[in-house]
Amino acid sequence: MQIRRTVTIIFQGLTVILALALIIVYFYPASKPDNNTVVQILEAPKGRAPLGSAEQHPNSYADAVAHAAPAVVNIYTTKIITERNRPTFEDPLYRYFFGDGNDNDTPQPRRESSLGSGVIISQQGNILTNHHVIEGADEIAIALNDGRRTTAKLVGDDPESDLAVLKIDLPKLPVITVGRSEELRVGDVVLAIGNPFGVGQTVTAGIISALGRTGLGINTFENFIQTDAAINPGNSGGALINVRGELVGINTAIFSETGGSQGIGFAIPTNLARDVTTQIIEQGHVVRGWLGVGIQDISAELAESFELPEPQGAIITHIMPDSPAEQAKLKQGDIITQINGQRVHDFRDTLAQISRQKPGSDITITVLREGKTLEKKTKVSERPQQETDTRRKR
């Protein structure tokens, strides 16, 4: 009897130890071996009620800010630029009268600094920001809201969506909850958190002015949230949050004739940033489908000349050599109307649908050629990496 009781006690003890071990592994993934570490992004649950009741729109948003602000960081970058000490030596007239000046025309390095913002999205130290914030940086310094400072390394970036992921190595990092921008509605209250003009962390409030803004010429892939929450230089890469304190966008650009906020700001929604971020963390870059065509929108004049009922689709302006489009025997002047049976509306829609295709997968392009509808089949290639113009970014 004593032996049986002893065995029972030992068995119960082992059960308790095993249960505790499972709890520790589940709630504290950092205790797992480093080679099995998985980046965990805290995401908001799906299918919640919309933010519409008076209780969800209080007179103060302090709780939302308290939840999100600790995860918003200031980013300071430094570039080493080498330039001529006296640019006037490049003037031919100056050279004629004063000579080449070779003795004094030695290239001189100088440091150029800039600032921006970012958001901590994982306990592993991943920071989401804009590509243009860290573009060409030789050094990246991070200042946390709790006063800690450190340097960051670049995990990867995507110029075509203007997103980048950095990594820092600090313990007990505050992490933002990534919300679902697809649940946003025009009129929802949002808050922008960042470091405008380098004055320090600042919160501004506004509403969602519009959703799905495209054709702005800012990024190759555009699907912007428009807001009247004040966004200024230095806010780039910072958080746009809802009244729950969840990240719904990455503040990116402003429309301004003066360089200051005029109530028209743009943020990259999290439903676009989520996929880009995951790919950057997992493979260092973003993989997109590529057809190898130049395309443009169908204007009203083109629609009339092609006898189209409405200006919809995208017209092919050129075919790149040795591309999937050339293999499919597409031609300049073809009008793309469908991708894999799904109707396309314009240039941006066509580009987005092609880019979503996995490289190596089959694709069917429906085109209108000389009044006839044709279907062309080919395999999608991987889209080459491209640079973008970041002059209007903030």
| Active-site residue identified among 162, 188, 334, 349 | 162
What 8-state DSSP symbol labels residue 153? E
Residue 63 confidence (pLDDT) = 92
Question: How far apart are alpha carbons 315 and 275 in whole angstroms?
Answer: 28
In tens, the pLDDT along 173-226 reads 999 999 999 899 999 999 999 998 888 899 999 999 999 887 777 778 888 999
Residue 162 appears among annotated catalytic residues? yes
Residues of the chain with CATH 2.30.42.10: 289-382
User: At 175, is the secondary structure helix, strand, or coil?
Assistant: coil
Token pair 């505790």 in the structure block, residue: 20
Task: Return the number of other C-beta atoms located less than 10 Å from residue 312's C-beta.
Answer: 16
Share of the chain above pLDDT 70, in %: 77
| Active-site residue identified among 122, 132, 346, 355 | 132
Residue 57 appears among annotated catalytic residues? no
Residue 309 confidence (pLDDT) = 83
Nearest residue to 215 (alpha-carbon basis) of 266, 164, 276? 266
**Range of lowest pLDDT (29-33, 43-47, 266-270):** 29-33
Parallel, antiparallel, or unpaired for β 224-227 and 202-213?
Answer: antiparallel
Question: How far apart are alpha carbons 327 and 332 in whole angstroms?
Answer: 14
Question: How far apart are alpha carbons 390 and 217 in whole angstroms?
Answer: 10
Q: Which fold has domain 289-382?
A: Pdz3 Domain (2.30.42)
Nearest residue to 233 (alpha-carbon basis) of 251, 217, 216, 221? 251
* DSSP code per residue over 226-292: EE-S---TT-TT-EEE-TTS-EEEEEEEE--SSSS--S-EEEEEHHHHHHHHHHHHHHSS---EE--
Question: How far apart are alpha carbons 53 and 164 in whole angstroms?
Answer: 36
Residue 256 confidence (pLDDT) = 66
Query: From the CA atom positions of the chain, what is the Rg in Å?
Result: 27
Residue 161 appears among annotated catalytic residues? no
Residue 47 confidence (pLDDT) = 64
Q: Which two tokens stand for residue 253?
A: 């650009």
First-to-last C-alpha distance (Å) of the chain: 77
Nearest residue to 293 (alpha-carbon basis) of 350, 345, 375, 357? 350
Residue 33 confidence (pLDDT) = 38
The answer to whether 208 and 188 have CB atoms below 8 angstroms apart is yes
Nearest residue to 81 (alpha-carbon basis) of 115, 111, 105? 111
More confident residue, 102 or 30: 102
The answer to whether 344 and 297 have CB atoms below 8 angstroms apart is no
For domain 70-167, the CATH superfamily is: Trypsin-like serine proteases (2.40.10.10)
Is domain 177-283 annotated with CATH 3.30.70.360?
A: no
At a CB cut-off of 8 Å and minimum separation 6, what does 130 contact? 116, 162, 163, 164, 236, 237, 250, 252, 268, 393
In tens, the pLDDT along 299-329 reads 888 888 888 888 888 899 999 998 999 898 9
Residue 30 confidence (pLDDT) = 43
In tens, the pLDDT along 74-127 reads 999 998 877 655 555 556 665 555 555 555 556 667 777 788 999 999 999 999
Residue 73 confidence (pLDDT) = 96
**Range of lowest pLDDT (29-38, 47-56, 107-116):** 29-38
pLDDT tier, 25 (very low <50, low <70, confident <90, very high otherwise): very low
Q: Which two tokens stand for residue 258?
A: 């003066």
Residues of the chain with CATH 2.40.10.10: 70-167, 177-283
What mean pLDDT, rounded, does the chain reach? Answer: 81
pLDDT at 151 over 70: yes
| Active-site residue identified among 117, 122, 181, 236 | 236
Token pair 């997968």 in the structure block, residue: 361
pLDDT tier, 50 (very low <50, low <70, confident <90, very high otherwise): low
pLDDT at 346 over 60: yes
Q: What are residue 140's DSSP bridge partners?
A: 77
CA dihedral 177, 183, 189, 191 (to 10 degrees): 30
In tens, the pLDDT along 352-371 reads 889 888 888 999 999 998 88
User: At 33, is the secondary structure helix, strand, or coil?
Assistant: coil
pLDDT at 261 over 80: no
Residue 244 confidence (pLDDT) = 92
The answer to whether 394 and 236 have CB atoms below 8 angstroms apart is yes
